[in-house]
Amino acid sequence: MIQAVRTALGDKAVIDDAHDIEPWLHDWRGRYHGATPAILAPDSTAGVAQIITLAAAHGVPLVPQGGNTSMVGGATPPADGSALILSLRRLKRIRHVDPTANLAVAEAGVILADLHDAALAQGRRFPLTLGARGSATLGGLASTNAGGTQVLRFGTMRSLVAGIEAVLPDGQIHDGLAALKKDNRGYDLDHLLVGAEGTLGVITAVTVRLVPAIAARAVAWVGLSSPHDALRLLHALESTTDAIESFELLPAESLAAVLRHIPATRAPLAGAHRWHVLIEAVASDAGAEPPAQLLERLLAPALAAGLAADAVIAASEAQAEAFWRIRDSLSESERALGPAAQHDISVPVERMPDFMLDAAAACDARFPGTQASGFGHLGDGNVHFHVRAPAGMDAAEWYGDLAPVVTSYVHDLVTAAGGSISAEHGIGQMKLAELQRLAAPARMAALRAIKAGLDPHGLLNPGKLLALARGPATP
Amino acid sequence: MIQAVRTALGDKAVIDDAHDIEPWLHDWRGRYHGATPAILAPDSTAGVAQIITLAAAHGVPLVPQGGNTSMVGGATPPADGSALILSLRRLKRIRHVDPTANLAVAEAGVILADLHDAALAQGRRFPLTLGARGSATLGGLASTNAGGTQVLRFGTMRSLVAGIEAVLPDGQIHDGLAALKKDNRGYDLDHLLVGAEGTLGVITAVTVRLVPAIAARAVAWVGLSSPHDALRLLHALESTTDAIESFELLPAESLAAVLRHIPATRAPLAGAHRWHVLIEAVASDAGAEPPAQLLERLLAPALAAGLAADAVIAASEAQAEAFWRIRDSLSESERALGPAAQHDISVPVERMPDFMLDAAAACDARFPGTQASGFGHLGDGNVHFHVRAPAGMDAAEWYGDLAPVVTSYVHDLVTAAGGSISAEHGIGQMKLAELQRLAAPARMAALRAIKAGLDPHGLLNPGKLLALARGPATP
């Protein structure tokens, strides 16, 4: 197989030096470790198609890999060395940016930050962003339906992908880049590939939507007494404007941790509040109501009604950045508090306030000495729910023994609340067993039937998302 | 099978009187005619699951049917009487409307107009609407990914469906109604079922998004010289506001036909213009810039730049209605002009102006005496492209001989422009052969693999969308 690829695509398309392969055998957090005899690195869609055709002929499994920033081991090859890595990093052309149609076509290996720059250079914006924007690639972002901090208004990758080019498991190229706004010619292959984690096809390029560049923004910090009030406030805002792009909730203890551990941070409000919300409003129309004025107009009645206890609108861009720095430092400051079990979970938005309080209380009661709390994207029904180890507990003991039990317990609570054990990170290797344990049988049967229909020999990203690599399924 | 359903669900769930069955054997335009020994009419999701389980056990094909308003014969049973109709019309509960979360849960048999009313009663709006709103059901609208006149801002059903409950071909119930905003637990079954025309599962309920009720609207009529200018105008508007909900383009001859054949209509503008656009802008925030003022502010520079030749903003709700009446009368007035071949097609938005002119010229040249023109949803890249029969040609001769040739020719032009032969009506029976002829082989192979994986015995809506009813596919 390796020789066949070398013959078909040349030496540059095969990396088989162990030293060059090494960095790509592990996930970036160092939790998953794999092995492979070679990385295949084509530089075109046609090259990807040739490789997948050869893999089908030789019966060789392939693990697609972009920036290797998966949070769930989704791009790490199996440890037995049975699969080859298919790197998309050389497919790195931004084929075009069309500021009139508000569309861009980027190959799978294009890095998110580069797309941001290319859009900005044309007076447009690609609104999805996240911490790994300097490494994560468009192919990986689409394959995992990535989220991030600006989902509230523009949605996850699924909402921003207008078309997909992919190589299917039989080696044929699906070209959906034309980005038709209306197209009812049968099953939507693009939506099927988004979030499929490379198990149904390998995305080689995406057409993404752009939005107007930001003309003005305003950032507010609000103190309030409960997640319930926070959600009511969000609804009050959203019922009259769609300019709200971020609505991030955090408890007092998270703010305190930031103020204690992150240099040069200060509390935005003078008084003490049990909960805090950061709100960003954005205008793209320079002639429209300025976002600061909009927030003032909409927050005033909320304060008068007691929905919010106090609020301040950043008076300068520097102050706005300072507010955001608190939010962006939450993970770093939490690490300073010691080991924790972290969960990327979602429940229906309306249930999130109850869930945050009830699940934290249930965890605290069930695991004495631990401290549970959630923070994050309230408006998406998605928080990062962390359970911190009891003070003084050894990290090895926590991660080895207690944390997995805590995680199963949290996942049970999420499932009981009608939620998802993976809001934005996907399943990969990490959550495969939990998905199998908790998903409805109807859902698992359907996922398996789709996988068996499209990839009957289980050659694409084996061992991810679904435990299925047994050849064609029989009904 | 019929007896088994009667035993399981009672007499009310089986309609086998020929007189009662008769109206449901034909599509509403009278083009497709089928036969069946019985209509099965359960009144609950559990009942649908029982029927599909029995059908799988007995090997009996089922044709799901809602309001029977398909434009492509998608709900008409096969003529050989081999299938039973599965009517969803008794699943007609609106389970709840949540004006705070902006969500509603409606069963498959709920009629669109009833959902409109239920949303309005709570100060909200379900923004999708179309001519058949008094008959079309939510299950059918979701199964066909319906469009309509308000797609520009809020999208087709696909964008408005937040969750789906469906019975899969094995009789298991998929419950996706929780409407999680973020959920990355593998393949998106909801998106797979939207637009699948009942061939992969039977939708029994949907969670749909609501939007704020309309606080104010403004309707403008613009005269301009080309579809290209119309598209530039749309881009100019959309680059600074997202308040535009409709942007409907029509040629001078369409306006003339309305003025000639529809009583009590008058031209909105004094002068003659080659092309016309109807624009609607909507505000849901009573405190925001009034839409009439917004349109005035945005149209002024377009007029100054020569992009638009003339424009008028309706001065009253009555005048706004009069503008809309012209748009809504286009089909009726076209019928008065004689027989025509009608095509529901889309191309990428940027290509639509060229396509409208080039395709019309190509048709006129290829079929002497015919007259081709398009009108409709320019901003969606979707127009209704009509080719009128030569003056004096007999309708039977046109529909029997020439129209099918014209349609194939138009579909070839659409495909060459990277477009879709079904923008919003689906495939059903009518376009099945054309889809097979024109779709990329990779696409057809993937559609077949998905169908074979989920419905290996081809029991759900046989003969629609895909010509496949041969039992399990082999790889």
pLDDT at A63: 98
Tell whether A263 lies on the interface with B, counting CB pairs under 8 A. Answer: no
Amino acid at A88: L
Average pLDDT over residues B334-338: 88
pLDDT at B284: 82
Give ∠ CA A140-A142-A147 in degrees, rounded to 5: 95
Average pLDDT over residues B88-103: 96
Using CA atoms, how far apart are residues A338 and A399, in angstroms rounded to an integer? 12
**What are the pLDDT digits (tens) for A345-356?**
999 999 999 999
Using CA atoms, how far apart are residues B164 and B206, in angstroms rounded to an integer? 5
Question: Residue B300: which of B292, B249, A100 has the closest Cα?
Answer: B292
Q: Which of A212, A240, A423 sits opposite B284 (nearest CB)?
A: A240
Q: Return the HEC string of chain A.
A: CHHHHHHHHCHHHEECCHHHHHHHHECCCCCCECCCCCEECCCCHHHHHHHHHHHHHHCCCEEEECCCCCCCCCCCCCCCCCCEEEECCCCCCEEEEECCCCEEEEECCCEHHHHHHHHHCCCEECCCCCCCCCCCEHHHHHHCCCCCCCHHHHCCHHHHEEEEEEECCCCCEEECCCCCCCCCCCCCHHHHHCCCCCCCCEEEEEEEECEECCCEEEEEEEEECCHHHHHHHHHHHHCCCCCEEEEEEEEHHHHHHHHHHCCCCCCCCCCCCCEEEEEEEEECCCCCCCHHHHHHHHHHHHHHCCCCCEEEECCCHHHHHHHHHHHHCHHHHHHCCCCEEEEEEECCHHHHHHHHHHHHHHHHHHCCCCEEEEEEEHHHCEEEEEEECCCCCCHHHHHHHHHHHHHHHHHHHHHHCCCECCCCCCCCCCCHHHHHHHCCHHHHHHHHHHHHHHCCCCCECCCCCCCCCCCCCCC
Question: Do B289 and A289 make contact, defined as CB atoms within 8 angstroms?
Answer: yes
Question: Residue B275: which of B217, B234, B319, B218 has the closest Cα?
Answer: B234
Tell whether A101 lies on the interface with B, counting CB pairs under 8 A. Answer: yes
Tell whether B349 lies on the interface with A, counting CB pairs under 8 A. Answer: yes
CB neighbours of B240 closer than 8 A, spacing ≥ 6?
Answer: A212, A284, A285, A286, A287, A288, B298
| Chain A interface mutation, best of B52, B103, B187, B307, highest count of A Cβ atoms under 10 Å | B187
Chain B, nearest residue to A446 by Cα:
B454
Which has the minimum average pLDDT: A390-394, A451-455, B286-290? Answer: B286-290
**What are the pLDDT digits (tens) for A297-321?**
999 999 999 999 999 999 999 999 9
Handedness of CA A141, A145, A149, A150 (dihedral sign): positive
DSSP B195-259: TSTTSS-EEEEEEEE-EEPPSEEEEEEEEES-HHHHHHHHHHHHTT-S-EEEEEEEEHHHHHHHH
Chain B, nearest residue to A238 by Cα:
B212
CA B23 to each of CA B35, B67, B85, B92: distance values in angstroms, whole numbers, following the listed order: 11, 11, 12, 20
Amino acid at B215: A
Q: What confidence category does residue B468 fall into, taking pLDDT thresholds of 50, 70 and 90?
A: low
Report percent pLDDT > 90 for chain A: 91
Question: Do B241 and A442 make contact, defined as CB atoms within 8 angstroms?
Answer: no
Q: Is residue B474 predicted with pLDDT exceeding 80?
A: no
| Residue bearing the bigger pLDDT, A21 or A215 | A21
Using CA atoms, how far apart are residues B177 and B124, in angstroms rounded to an integer? 20
Contact residues on chain A for B348, CB-CB shorter than 8 A: 101, 178-180
Q: What is the mean pLDDT of chain A?
A: 95
Which has the minimum average pLDDT: A458-472, B55-69, B227-241, B405-419? Answer: A458-472
Give me the phi and psi of A286, to 5 degrees please: -60, -20
ipTM comes to: 0.94
The reply to whether A2-87 and A216-331 are identical in fold is: no
Using CA atoms, how far apart are residues A63 and A217, in angstroms rounded to an integer? 41
Question: Do B381 and A181 make contact, defined as CB atoms within 8 angstroms?
Answer: yes
Both structure tokens of A108? 């799978």
Q: Is residue A424 predicted with pLDDT exceeding 70?
A: yes
Chain A, nearest residue to B415 by Cα:
A178
Euclidean distance between the first and the last CA atom of chain B, given in angstroms as a whole number: 32
Other Cβ atoms less than 10 A from the Cβ of A41: the count is 22
Contact residues on chain A for B379, CB-CB shorter than 8 A: 181
Strands A340-346 and A94-98: unpaired
Q: Is residue B470 predicted with pLDDT exceeding 80?
A: no
Euclidean distance between the first and the last CA atom of chain A, given in angstroms as a whole number: 32
Q: Yes or no: is domain B338-416 CATH 3.40.1360.10?
A: no
Tell whether A195 lies on the interface with B, counting CB pairs under 8 A. Answer: yes
Name the B residues in 370-409 with CB < 8 Å from any A CB: 377, 379-382
Distance of CA B134 to the CA centre of its chain: 14
Helix (H, G, I), strand (E, B) or coil at B385: strand
| Chain A interface mutation, best of B124, B154, B185, B385, highest count of A Cβ atoms under 10 Å | B185
* Residue A391 near residue A369 (C-beta atoms within 8 A): yes
**What are the pLDDT digits (tens) for A119-162?**
999 999 999 998 899 999 999 999 999 998 789 999 999 999 99
Using CA atoms, how far apart are residues A281 and B230, in angstroms rounded to an integer? 31
Question: Do B172 and A435 make contact, defined as CB atoms within 8 angstroms?
Answer: no
Say which CATH topology domain B2-87 has. Answer: 3.30.43
Question: Do B178 and A418 make contact, defined as CB atoms within 8 angstroms?
Answer: yes
Average pLDDT over residues A206-219: 94
pLDDT at B133: 94
* Residue B199 near residue A464 (C-beta atoms within 8 A): no
Q: Yes or no: is domain B94-212 CATH 3.30.470.10?
A: no
Question: Do B288 and A284 make contact, defined as CB atoms within 8 angstroms?
Answer: no
Question: Do B287 and A427 make contact, defined as CB atoms within 8 angstroms?
Answer: no
Query: How is chain B split into domains, by residue range?
Result: 2-87, 94-212, 216-331, 338-416
Distance from CA of A111 to the nearest CA of B (A): 22
Average pLDDT over residues A173-181: 95
Average pLDDT over residues B245-270: 95
Q: Is residue B475 predicted with pLDDT exceeding 70?
A: no
Q: What confidence category does residue A468 fall into, taking pLDDT thresholds of 50, 70 and 90?
A: low
Using CA atoms, how far apart are residues A159 and A161, in angstroms rounded to an integer? 6
Contact residues on chain B for A184, CB-CB shorter than 8 A: 144-145, 195, 420, 422-427
Strands B84-87 and B62-65: parallel
Tell whether B101 lies on the interface with A, counting CB pairs under 8 A. Answer: yes
CA B407 to each of CA B30, B330, B387: distance values in angstroms, whole numbers, following the listed order: 19, 20, 9
Question: Do B454 and A453 make contact, defined as CB atoms within 8 angstroms?
Answer: yes
Contact residues on chain B for A456, CB-CB shorter than 8 A: 475
Chain B, nearest residue to A173 by Cα:
B442
DSSP B139-167: HHHHHTT---TTHHHH-SHHHHEEEEEEE
Q: Which of B174, B185, B241 sits opposite A442 (nearest CB)?
A: B174
| Chain B interface mutation, best of A96, A182, A430, highest count of B Cβ atoms under 10 Å | A182
Average pLDDT over residues B235-256: 92
Tell whether B93 lies on the interface with A, counting CB pairs under 8 A. Answer: no
Burial (CB count <10 Å: 0-12, 13-18, 19+), residue B312: middle
CB neighbours of B336 closer than 8 A, spacing ≥ 6?
Answer: B257, B260, B261
Question: Do A200 and B187 make contact, defined as CB atoms within 8 angstroms?
Answer: yes
Both structure tokens of B472? 């399990």
Q: Is residue B209 predicted with pLDDT exceeding 50?
A: yes
* Residue B289 near residue B296 (C-beta atoms within 8 A): no
Q: For B216-331, which CATH class?
A: alpha beta
Give ∠ CA A125-A130-A133 in degrees, rounded to 5: 75
Average pLDDT over residues A225-249: 93
Q: What confidence category does residue B469 fall into, taking pLDDT thresholds of 50, 70 and 90?
A: very low
Q: What number of residues does chain A have?
A: 475
Amino acid at A215: A
CB neighbours of B10 closer than 8 A, spacing ≥ 6?
Answer: none
* Residue B414 near residue B347 (C-beta atoms within 8 A): yes
Q: Is residue B285 predicted with pLDDT exceeding 80?
A: no
